[in-house]
Amino acid sequence: MDPVAENSSKTIADGGVASDDIPKDGTGVVKLDPWLAPFQDSLKRRYSKAQNWIKTIDETEGGLEKFSRGADVFGLHAKEDNSIVYREWAPNAVKASLIGDFNNWSREAHPLKKNEFGVFEITIPPTASGQAAVPHNSKLKITLELPDGQWIDRLPAWIKYVTQDLSVSPAYDARFWNPPAAEKYVFKHPRPKKPESIRVYEAHVGISSPELRVATYKEFTKNMLPRIRDLGYNVIQLMAIMEHAYYASFGYQINNFFAASSRYGPPEDLKELVDTAHGMGIVVLLDVVHSHASKNVLDGLNEFDGTDHQYFHAGPKGKHELWDSRLFNYGHHEVMRFLLSNLRFWMDEYRFDGFRFDGVTSMLYLHHGIGTGFSGGYHEYFGAGVDEEAVVYLMLANELLHELYPDCITVGEDVSGMPALCLPLSLGGVGFDYRLAMAIPDMWIKILKEVKDEEWEIGNICWTLTNRRHGEKTIAYAESHDQALVGDKTLMMHLCDAELYTNMSVLRPLTAIIDRGMALHKLIRLLTHGLGGEGYLNFEGNEFGHPEWLDFPREGNQNSFWYARRQLNLPEDPLLRYHFLNNFDRSMNKCEEKYGWLHAPQAYISLKHEGDKVIVFERGGLLFVFNLHPTLSFTDYRVGVEVKGTYRIVLNTDSKDHGGFSRVDENTRFFTEPLEWNGRPNCTHVYIPCRTALVSALQSDFENKC
């Protein structure tokens, strides 16, 4: 047996621990998972470090809440009297001046004073006419004198708006964002409550258009938000919002952590996007990158005060060899302030509802996951390879967010499967709400690449979909942006490949390849949705089988936008079969919205038949029946079910609206009989065509939810 499977079957049981029974030393998780007992010392140590941080911050900063308000203190701030206060931490510098359009870039005009903590500060009074001395949207920099007498220019570390003019330089310009009151966006809608079931639409503003260009916040608000709502998603995960100089980095090489990317429009437009989503009842998560930073010097944090160790570890420890980026020193007081304040800023300034933390595996381990496979042995999660400073930072980040914002959602992108990642700090956990089920898309890709349809191993598929730590929530997905990137293939490309360009028209005969591809595209998604976790995620465009991968403009493709777009026009054309897959995605999400299987307990699988290729399970009061066989259909197929009664179909992958053949009469009622079958006290009989899935509900539930 695979060690991960063995661990999974013996780990956290359903149900919680009474608060009176929770040890106050970080070992509460052991009561849920006794297999963690040998690692109590590690659990105690990291919990103690987190508590020491909290104590230190309480004593020196007045608590986490105040400590995380760094964005109110550092950077540039216009006061009510139009004076401007600027503070910057640059301990290695001996002198500093604020320079910009407002003072003709004079180094002598506006010098800053340095305090004993390495923080420079200046207050610039208003002009004689009472206006701010630094005009709104004007360019500026901080210039620093180093101990050797050299002067260097930097963009303020806490700058909130930067712009790029590629015709002049790839480097960004910092701008003072201080619009007049009439131009500031005023939020109109409250944050939605945290959904019981989260159905996540992973999206990138810039690619959200079929046109060969960068789309804008305004366009996303107008065109994408109604589409996302119509498809039944209640959470949007926005990628590539934190400013990144290199578009082709997909937003994962951040140079300005407090700046919303200006390539899509000004900050007020992003606020409108988030607020409009809230008005639709949609939660908006930010894809936050605290795992590393761009190595840019001229417009990033790297060597900000002339040293390589201000925000990052010095030397090789501070460099990620694969990502060619810098690694934060999570054990430093000011770095902790910067990162926690960064989270607080995005929540308060733009009213995001939480975060998907990128690159968590790289943060959790000193080896960053490079050249390391995780077997599932617990020693891998608590040994010398763990970066406890990073673990503690994530503990504090989650504690802060959930304390200040009760409906906040945090998601960790961790491939290692670290235990207690999604348990609260009080139990000794890291505190995330959800983790991403990263093994599931790998499984589907591997199957489609290497295994014939008739040789799919039903038991292994079900095991991978259900192999998760009980009590720690998981977001399942068949494919994300990772599978859409150039060099890989989306599921639909694996399934249909070249015929996507020739045979997706309804005016052409349905070929065997397209028939198979569309059927399996739906089955894979529904099986992942139903079995894979407590949340579901889809990457923009993949819901309808987008025909191309994703590749951003870069030197290697002659700076082409051809693949840096989503052809969202395709499902709108009734003559193309993409709209059938789009319809199914909507039906699947709407069905979950009605019956709530994602927030129901993990499914009970009553049948995994290798010969018939049939899977039967129950979840959320629904009966799921899958026939993955490529050619065999079954009449009067007996399936077990827990609750007796009359069942009727609520979702059918084979319906005409979903591009199927309507081989099943959806008005059929299925009556149970009190015969034990496959471990269930009742059974019924169904007709289940090949490559089809049916979801059925009790007649009474169906009528109540109509």
Which stretch of DSSP H or E encloses residue 427? none
pLDDT score for 17: 59
pLDDT score for 13: 35
Active site residue 573: no
Say if 37 falls within a structural domain: no
Is the pLDDT at 304 greater than 80? The verdict is: yes
pLDDT score for 266: 98
Say if 218 falls within a structural domain: yes
pLDDT score for 485: 76
Q: Mean pLDDT, to the nearest integer, of 409-421?
A: 96
Whether 193 and 118 map to the same domain: the answer is no
Whether 151 and 228 map to the same domain: the answer is no
Whether 695 and 609 map to the same domain: the answer is yes
pLDDT score for 319: 97
pLDDT score for 14: 36
Is the pLDDT at 3 greater than 50? The verdict is: no
Give the CA count within 13 Å in the CB-facing half-sphere of 635: 2
pTM of the model: 0.95
| Residue among 389, 413, 540, 701 flagged as catalytic | 413
Whether 226 and 273 map to the same domain: the answer is yes
Is the pLDDT at 9 greater than 70? The verdict is: no
| Residue among 173, 219, 305, 358 flagged as catalytic | 358
Other Cβ atoms less than 10 A from the Cβ of 83: the count is 14
Cα–Cα dist 257/46, whole Å: 27
Whether 237 and 170 map to the same domain: the answer is no
Is the pLDDT at 25 greater than 60? The verdict is: yes
pLDDT score for 487: 67
Active site residue 413: yes
Lay out the sheet containing 75-78: strands in order across: 75-78, 84-89, 119-124, 113-114
The set of residues, in sequence order, having a beta carbon less than 8 Å from that of 474 and lying 6+ positions away, is: 422, 434, 435, 436, 437, 468, 532, 533, 534, 535
Say if 24 falls within a structural domain: no
Whether 178 and 196 map to the same domain: the answer is no
- Mean pLDDT, the chain, rounded, equals 94
Q: pLDDT for 367-395, tens place per residue? A: 999 988 787 788 899 988 999 999 999 99
Q: Mean pLDDT, to the nearest integer, of 484-492?
A: 80
Please report, to the nearest 10 degrees, the dihedral formed by the alpha carbons of residues 386, 389, 392, 396 taken in order. -150
Percentage with pLDDT > 90 across the chain: 89
Q: What band does 704 get if pLDDT is binned at 50, 70 and 90? A: confident
Say if 43 falls within a structural domain: no
**Domain at 166, CATH number:** 2.60.40.10
Q: Look up residue 485 and give its DSSP letter.
A: B
Whether 216 and 172 map to the same domain: the answer is no
Which of 248, 283, 318 is the endpoint of a domain? 283
Whether 643 and 682 map to the same domain: the answer is yes
**Domain at 676, CATH number:** 2.60.40.1180
Is the pLDDT at 112 greater than 60? The verdict is: yes
Which of 283, 300, 319 is the endpoint of a domain? 283
Is the pLDDT at 77 greater than 90? The verdict is: yes
Say if 118 falls within a structural domain: yes
Better pLDDT: 485 or 54 = 54
Cα–Cα dist 64/254, whole Å: 25
Number of domains the chain is built from? 3
pLDDT score for 8: 38
Q: What band does 7 get if pLDDT is binned at 50, 70 and 90? A: very low
Question: Of the ranges 6-20, 211-225, 258-272, 526-540, which one carries the lowest mean pLDDT score?
Answer: 6-20
Say if 427 falls within a structural domain: no
Whether 123 and 212 map to the same domain: the answer is no
pLDDT score for 169: 86
pLDDT score for 18: 60
Residue 110 belongs to what domain range?
Answer: 70-183
pLDDT score for 349: 98
Better pLDDT: 701 or 609 = 609
Please report, to the nearest 10 degrees, the dihedral formed by the alpha carbons of residues 38, 39, 41, 44 taken in order. -130
Whether 176 and 231 map to the same domain: the answer is no
**Domain at 262, CATH number:** 3.30.750.90
Whether 196 and 248 map to the same domain: the answer is yes
Which stretch of DSSP H or E encloses residue 145? strand 139-145
pLDDT score for 555: 87
Say if 545 falls within a structural domain: no
Which of 257, 283, 309 is the endpoint of a domain? 283
Q: Which residues pair with 287 in a beta bridge?
A: 356
**Count of positions (residues) in the chain:** 706
Q: Mean pLDDT, to the nearest integer, of 172-194?
A: 97
Question: Of the ranges 185-199, 363-377, 506-520, 681-695, which one carries the lowest mean pLDDT score?
Answer: 363-377
Q: List the beta strands (DSSP E) in 593-653.
A: 604-609, 614-619, 622-627, 634-641, 646-652
Say if 491 falls within a structural domain: no
Whether 176 and 242 map to the same domain: the answer is no
